[in-house]
Structure 1
Amino acid sequence: MAGNNASDNIACYSPGLAGIPVAESSVSSVDGKRGYLEYRGIDIEQLAEQSSFEETSYLLLYGELPTAEQLASFDRQLKHHRRIKFRIRDMMKCFPESAHPMDSLQATVAALGMFYPFPKNISGELDRATVDTVCVNLIAKLPTLVAAHARMRHGDDPIAPRDDLSHAANFYYMLTGEEPYPLTARILDVAFIVHAEHEMNASTFSTLVTASTHADPYTSISAAIGSLSGPLHGGANEDVLNMLDEIGSVENVEAYLNSKLSNREKIPGLGHRVYKTRDPRAALLVRLYKQLTDKIGIDTNYSIARQIETLSESTLGAKGVCPNVDFYSGIVYRKLGIPTDLFTPIFAIARVAGWLAHWKEQLGSGRIYRPAQIYVGKKGESYIPIEKR
């Protein structure tokens, strides 16, 4: 696409690569106008209602739903690989107590590559067993890494994983020391499903760029976690909870919105680069939240969020600015008793399945990412000796 000079390139310049296809993929598809999301051709709503995170992960990794035997085998492998090396735990003990859980997760995932070496020369085709093992290892270990750091930063010992619990239930158990109620486990499981994949977002692109250099997959996933940590990506759900805390009550919502709109400030959790209508994942999370509140009651956060959505419909809804998945995910997690700074690590626990599905596609590409730029700086300048400056 690049021409011979800047003027030739300007026609194809798109800040942030907005709207520029950078890869072909069969992993997921988003229809932003209709508010529709599919994993491997299956509607996310069907998966959320009928599947499990383990089954959805298999679908993303291998392109089809597993048989009962395949799912049982995959589940056994995930459970077998949940534990982490004691030296990883020792490393985490040295992290400062103030370290954000995403920083801890990025560092420990990168360190996994030293304990589980991956072939450096992948110019040829990797055998399936090698690829399968690293995918299972990462999906299985991320919940353990997040839960271990969450406990150790408060001076508590990590809790060993249990092989009799599902992926979601085991994470909750390792985090809290309590086996979750079936509804709690199901809510967390569905939250994992709806966050597992979302085509070419910033963190997925980071995975592909890093993988295209033939870096090992632990490094590629660590790069994705770094991208996810930003407030414009995965960190947005923390901003939503901070906003709700700042507003404080339903009565304050209208004044808050008017202030934000008059100052042309962004409202956390509203709007999406792809969706021009309500994010389907947000609708699924609201449905889950209602199931939870039927048992333990509605709290102030939800009431404020609903009022924001109602009042913003007339001003922002017409512009396609609607609640996204971050708008409600944090409310759900807080209702489950999960600390705010763990919301984005939970996003990573889920999204690693999608990252790895794209990583597998990148293995077959063999093409390093090397986009062009448009140079707008000076030219033909002469060097000035330091004594003359």
Structure 2
Amino acid sequence: MGKKSFLEQFESEKLMELSSLAEKCSYINPEFYSKYEVKRGLRDINGRGVVAGLTEIGEVHSYIIDENETVPVPGRLRYRGIEIDDLVNGFISEDRYGFEETTYLLLFGHLPDKNELINFEALLGSFRTLPNSFVRDIIMKAPSKNMMNTLARSILSMYSYDPNADDTTVANVVRQSLQMIAYFPLIAVYGYQAYDHYYNNNSLIIHSPKPELSTAENILHMLRPDSQFTKLEATLLDLALVLHAEHGGGNNSTFTTHVVTSSGTDTYSAISASLGSLKGFRHGGANIKVVQMFDDIREHVEDWKDDEEIFAYLEKILTKQAFDRTGLVYGIGHAVYSVSDPRAVIFKKYVQELAKDKGLEDEFLLYSKVEEIAPQVIGHLRKMYKGVSANVDFYSGFVYRMLGIPKELYTPLFAISRIVGWSAHRIEEIVNNGKIMRPAYKSIAKKQKYVEVDKR
């Protein structure tokens, strides 16, 4: 026991020493980024991205150029040239779920007619069956505490179940993509059920998906012990899936899809890399942080209707005195949008309806007040090069909480949706046979001579 303790202490001290060295040799003076005109994050000081490719899949629009001046405008999002507002209003006005229709549009370039949609929904339904023993051998064994890791590990394991895993022809990649779009909800929900059983000692309940149900309906059906849900609940979840399905080629996880695909690797490797990107709190993981932040705000703000008290507490969050002390107001601000995020604007209308149905109107009011006040606080404390507004993550976590979805599945829900965009962009990269992506990094290291070990 003493020897083990000594080894542990030795390892800890050496790791701290090595960590310090790694940190010291990795630091780069921020002034050098300006000196060498490096656009960090591949974005300029005005938030405009470096153009790295062309796409016909999604378009994000947030500004206009007027006499060489960048003028922020209300954000717009188009899927294959169709305004997201028109797409959403279309299927909701016809009292239909829209995720499957959106999937067809993003992958195949046009809105499906009735027969095409029926056949496509039937095809997705037929794919909602995981390989034999996959749930037992892959998902149930060594369950992870993080469902994004469960998804990534499971998708990598899919390689072993696919006799044509390395075939990167369009026909094969389309088949793989549709199967993954169908598999993702099952893997995420079953992964959570395994985690909840083995780590929380709750009953293990596995519901098989129903081919006649939509993706959103199946998620609620498989997740809830009694499989019951309302039309409004399924509609809001379906809307969340539609709004998260695509966001242009430059968002971090989709750009990852392009980068990894450009190397010529297999579909499962490319998608697992994209999952790793989406997991990060600066990307898909932000919706969890929003919910945690609001838990903290509710605890410390006594009067949810008092603008001054909310302002004062948001100041504490921004000055790293409260919440997680990162100085971030999660869900406020976006790399591209400044005036407004169209997804948040659309979502908010329906979120209010669900909040009313769930008796959570006071909480919705708090969200609305923070959405209004946070940009004022940020503008008061920091120099801003562009405006900030609520992004889609601001409301999505609130919706998931109202739907009784556990926090462990918030980011996987993003992945269940965004796998559609990733798949469309992977196919686009393959069809256009681009070069392997390899941007330049300038070395600023000082030249050194090799010194023999005895002379160091």
Give me the TM-score of the superposition, normalised by structure 1.
Answer: 0.91
Mapping of residues 49-64 of structure 1, within 5 Å: 49-51=89-91, 52-64=98-110
- Residues 61-118 of structure 1: per-residue CA shift (max 9 Å, x gap): 0111112111111111100111112432122222245x21111111111111221243
CA 1:273–1:112 in 2, change beyond 3 Å: closer, same or farther? same
Structure 2 segments unaligned to the other structure (5+ residues): 1-31, 44-48, 63-72, 92-97, 198-203, 321-325
Give how far 1:131 is off: 3.1
- Structure 2 counterpart of 1:370, from 400, 421, 438: 438
Match of 2:310 among 247, 253, 261: 253
The equivalent residue for 1:278 is 340
Distance 1:138 1:167 in 2: 13
CA contact (8 A) 2:170 2:427 kept: no
**1:138 aligns with one of 180, 183, 208:** 180
Distance 1:50 1:148, change over 3 A: same
| 1:66 match: secondary structure | coil
Distance in 1 (CA, whole Å) between partners of 2:195 and 2:165 is 34
1-side partners of 2:317 and 2:297: how far apart?
A: 12
Whether 1:382 and 2:449 are equivalent positions in the alignment is yes
Q: Separation in 2 of the partners of 1:82 and 1:161?
A: 7
Q: In 2, distance between residues paired with 1:212 and 1:276?
A: 31
Q: Which has the higher contact order (CA 8 A, sep 6+)?
A: 1
User: Displacement, 1:121?
Assistant: 5.8
Alpha-carbon distance between aligned partners in 2 of 1:287 and 1:229, rounded to the nearest angstrom: 27
Relative to 1, partners in 2 of residues 1:131 and 1:67: Cα closer, same or farther, differing over 3 Å? Answer: farther
Q: 2:368 aligns with which of 306, 312, 330?
A: 306
2:166 counterpart SS class: coil
CA 1:384–1:112 in structure 2 vs 1: closer, same or farther (change >3 Å)? same
| In 2: Cα distance, 1:22 partner to 1:117 partner | 34
Which of these residues, 42, 55, 58, is aligned with residue 17 of structure 1?
42
Residue 287 of structure 1 is matched in structure 2 by: 349
- Matched to 2:187, the amino acid is L
**Is 2:416 aligned against 1:361?**
no
**In structure 2, distance between residues paired with 1:115 and 1:195:** 28
Q: Distance in 2 between matches of 1:196 and 1:43?
A: 14
Partner of 1:38, secondary structure, is strand
Counterpart among 150, 156, 159 of residue 110 in structure 1: 156
1:156-197 alpha-carbon deviations (Å, 9 max, x no partner) = 142111112111101111111413211111111111000000
Mapped partners of 2:246, 2:311: distance in 1: 34
In structure 1, the partner of 2:272 is 222
CA distance in 2: counterparts of 1:281 and 1:197, whole angstroms: 11
Equivalence for 2:284:
234
Separation in structure 2 between the aligned mates of residue 189 and residue 162 of structure 1, nearest angstrom: 16
2:245 is matched with which residue? 196
Mapped contact 2:352–2:364 kept (Cα < 8 A):
no
> How far apart, CA to CA, are the structure 1 residues paired with 2:83 and 2:127?
30
Asked if the contact 1:106/1:222 (under 8 Å) is kept, the reply is: yes
One-letter amino acid of the counterpart of residue 208, structure 2: A
| Aligned-residue offset at 1:384 | 1.0
| Aligned AA (1:174) | M
Distance 1:93 1:300 in 2: 40
1:166 matched to 2:214? The reply is: yes
Name the counterpart of 2:142: 95
Residues 270-298 of structure 1: CA deviation (Å, up to 9, x unaligned): 00000011211111221111121232222
Distance in structure 2 (CA, Å) of the matches to 1:234 and 1:300:
27
Aligned residues: 376
Question: Which segment is superposed worse, 63-72 or 84-93?
Answer: 84-93
Distance in structure 1 (CA, Å) of the matches to 2:407 and 2:167: 40
The aligned counterpart of 2:196 is 154
Answer whether contact 2:318 2:378 (CA < 8 A) is retained: no
1:349 and 2:416 correspond: yes
User: How many angstroms apart in 2 are the aligned matches of 1:281 and 1:359?
Assistant: 23
Identify which of 40, 44, 57 aligns with 2:80: 40
Measured after TM superposition, the shift of residue 12 of structure 1 is: 5.7
Q: Which deviates more from structure 2 when the two are superposed, residues 157-166 or residues 301-310?
A: 301-310
Larger radius of gyration: 2
AA of the residue aligned to 2:141: C
Shift of 1:34: 2.4
Percent of pairs identical after alignment? 35
Query: Any conservation in 2 of the 1:28–1:197 contact (CA below 8 Å)?
Result: yes
Alpha-carbon contact 2:159-2:165 (below 8 Å) kept: no
CA RMSD of aligned residues (A): 2.0
Structure-2 change in CA distance of 1:296 and 1:120 (3 Å): closer
**Cα distance, 1:347–1:374 mapped onto 2, change above 3 Å:** same
CA distance in structure 2 between the aligned counterparts of 1:190 and 1:62, rounded to whole angstroms: 20
Whether the 8 Å CA contact 2:338–2:388 is kept in 1: the answer is: yes
Q: Secondary structure at the match of 2:133?
A: helix
Match of 1:210 in 2: 260
Match of 1:78 in 2: 124
